[in-house]
Amino acid sequence: MIGLLVLVLVARQLRDYAWMQDFIRRYPGTSTSYAPAVTTGFPAWLRWQHFFNGVLLMFIVRSGLQILADHPRLYLNAGCRPGTEWLRLRGPVPADRMDKTDPARVWTSKDDAVALPGWLGVPGFRHSIGLARWWHFTFDLLWLLNGAVFYVLLFATGQWQRIVPQSWTVLPNAASTLVQYASLQFPVNAGFTNYNGLQLLGYFSTVFIAAPLALITGLLQAPAVAARFGTARGPLNRQVARSVHFGVLVWMVAFVAGHVTMVLCTGVVGNLNHIVLGTDTQEYRAVMLAVAGICTVALLWLLATPLTVRYPRLVQRTGRAVVGPIKEWMERIHPRATYRERDITPYHWSNGRLPDSPHYRRLRAGGWADYRLTVGGLVAHPVQLSYRELLALPKHEQVTGHYCIQGWSGIAKWGGVAMADVLDIVRPLPTARWVVFTSFADGAEPDTGRYYACHRIAHMREPTTLLAYEMNGAPLSEVHGAPLRLRNELELGFKMVKWIESIEFVASIDDVGWGHGGYNEDHEYFGYRMPI
Ligand SMILES: Nc1nc2c(c(=O)[nH]1)N[C@H]1C(S)=C(S)[C@@H](COP(=O)(O)O)O[C@H]1N2
Ligand SMILES: [Mo]
């Protein structure tokens, strides 16, 4: 408030100076020097796309905040070490819970998630990232489609000339507009044919910079993209992408707030006639239609959370139908990227409910001497492999990135047995299409059975798909999945089952668990394909 007041006073003072008056005379704010007048009005396609864009953006922002709330920390380093955040929405990780040698007390990333109010986040409740992602990705796709059509029509019709500056004089005109607005003596509004410099720059950067940046930084957060291009380390790492992605969100919200304010302050009836009816008129019909549109949007806003909470499975299924084909396509990537030992990140977040069965305790106490990995199902040669037999198989080591669905990442060195070698031993039958990894540990919710995840058999032949028994050169700790945990570098972290007890080859995932492809797919509405 005080800041705004100071801004107004400074701007008013500036306008008292003769040089500023000269400047404003020379650069009045709106001018045909940087963009010609567009006299064809606002065509219907543009007006509709403007509306759709607003509706879609609203859900993208709300679900985006929900996703952020699942790991409410932003960093620039690839390893997400607590204490290195540049922004966090909650307190620091409790110091006494960072010690990984005390498994029962380790602060997991699920402990770290925060709740958002239901009117703000979709769906609002704590750790609802699975559902939030369906909203986010489904609306992202529609938004990208809307944007692609918009780009094409913009350039096909000449409407682009409204928002693409053709001369640097747009800059002094923008500065002039800013001073005039801030001094509360507004420049003339010629928005029907010409945007002022500030407006033009605002629209240009939103349409041609912020929007593409959202797409690029979104993709850079995908494990499959990183595993293809090797971007888990370096300036394009996931945390940089996440931070910039959040920056775009802040930009979009600020833009919408500023845009709506200016629409209201600079002749609202005329402005609404432009964008609702497409004419340079002062009809009240336009205001009525705008209000109806806003009410529709408000209704959608209010319904989103209760409907998601009530029909989560429907949200999951719809999202899968819309986004699934793209995820399938992304799963064809070969996750070959590996890193150097010096890229290993010092702190690795952890997740998951530890195994608490006496059976697991006994095996662990016995140094895994009695551990047997059961590999069966649709295979020619089912086996039980002891810990010693596993260690006797060829050992593979790789430094790879780990991308948790919640948003954190890390780079670690993994040592273990290639799944391809296990496949050679058991020889899957042609009917086997999925591989089910089942843990000693139960899933997060009480009395819902073991944690498990299904993987496509094609991924099992990737050289980087491992049954890891070592992490960073030491035997796998209990927290990180001892005695054995999966690495499938194409997928998000939750697919990498820890504390593996058995592996089963199956023809279909329909009869495994609740049939959605994994424990978190069953209970938290995640998708079973998770290359992004
Ligand atoms: N059995 C079991 N495995 C699991 C989980 C779990 O809850 N139970 N969580 C998964 C998730 S969400 C992630 S991000 C990784 C975390 O691995 P880390 O703890 O070694 O970092 O383990 C995965 N494996
Ligand atoms: Mo995760």
> Which residues are CB-neighbours of 166 under 8 A, at least 6 positions away?
34, 35, 36
Q: Are residues 292 and 371 in the same domain?
A: no
Q: Are residues 351 and 438 in the same domain?
A: yes
> CB of 439 closer than 6 A to ligand 1?
yes
What's the confidence (pLDDT) of residue 53?
Answer: 97
What's the confidence (pLDDT) of residue 276?
Answer: 97
Q: What percent of the chain has pLDDT over 90?
A: 98
Give the distance (Å) from ligand 1 centre to CA of residue 422: 22
| CATH number of the domain where residue 461 is located | 3.90.420.10
Is pLDDT at 100 greater than 90 in this prediction?
no
pLDDT digits (tens, 9 = 90+) for 442-485: 999 999 999 999 999 999 999 999 999 999 999 999 999 999 99
Residue closest to 531 by CA, chosen among 488, 470, 499, 501: 488
> CB of 360 closer than 6 A to ligand 1?
no
What's the confidence (pLDDT) of residue 298?
Answer: 95
pLDDT band at 98 (very low <50, low <70, confident <90, very high): confident
What's the confidence (pLDDT) of residue 103?
Answer: 85
Each as own residue / partner, the long-range contacts of residues 8-14 (CB below 8 Å, 24 or more positions apart, any chain) are: 8/182, 8/183, 8/184, 10/182, 11/179, 11/180, 11/181, 11/182, 11/183, 11/184, 12/183, 12/184, 14/179, 14/183
pLDDT band at 102 (very low <50, low <70, confident <90, very high): confident
Is 286 inside any structural domain? yes
Q: Are residues 201 and 301 in the same domain?
A: yes
What element of type H or E holds 43? none
Ligand nearest to the CA of 442: 1
Mean pLDDT of 409-438: 98
Residue nearest to atom 21 of ligand 1 (CA): 350
Q: Are residues 323 and 347 in the same domain?
A: no
Q: Are residues 397 and 361 in the same domain?
A: yes
End of a domain among 309, 330, 351? 330
End of a domain among 301, 330, 359? 330
What's the confidence (pLDDT) of residue 99?
Answer: 84
Q: Are residues 353 and 314 in the same domain?
A: no
Total domains present in the chain? 2
pLDDT band at 167 (very low <50, low <70, confident <90, very high): very high
Nearest atom within ligand 1 for CA of residue 481: 20
Pocket test for ligand 1, best of 403, 485, 498, 501 (most atoms within 8 A of CB): 498
pLDDT digits (tens, 9 = 90+) for 369-383: 999 999 999 999 999
Token pair, residue 318, equals: 């719809």
> CB of 499 closer than 6 A to ligand 1?
yes
Give the distance (Å) from ligand 1 centre to CA of residue 249: 29
Print the domain residue range for 437.
341-523
Give the distance (Å) from ligand 1 centre to CA of residue 481: 8
Ligand nearest to the CA of 347: 1
Q: What is the mean pLDDT of the chain?
A: 97
Q: Are residues 417 and 294 in the same domain?
A: no
What's the confidence (pLDDT) of residue 316?
Answer: 98
pLDDT band at 139 (very low <50, low <70, confident <90, very high): very high
pTM for the whole thing? Answer: 0.95
> CB of 441 closer than 6 A to ligand 1?
yes
Give the distance (Å) from ligand 2 centre to CA of residue 407: 8
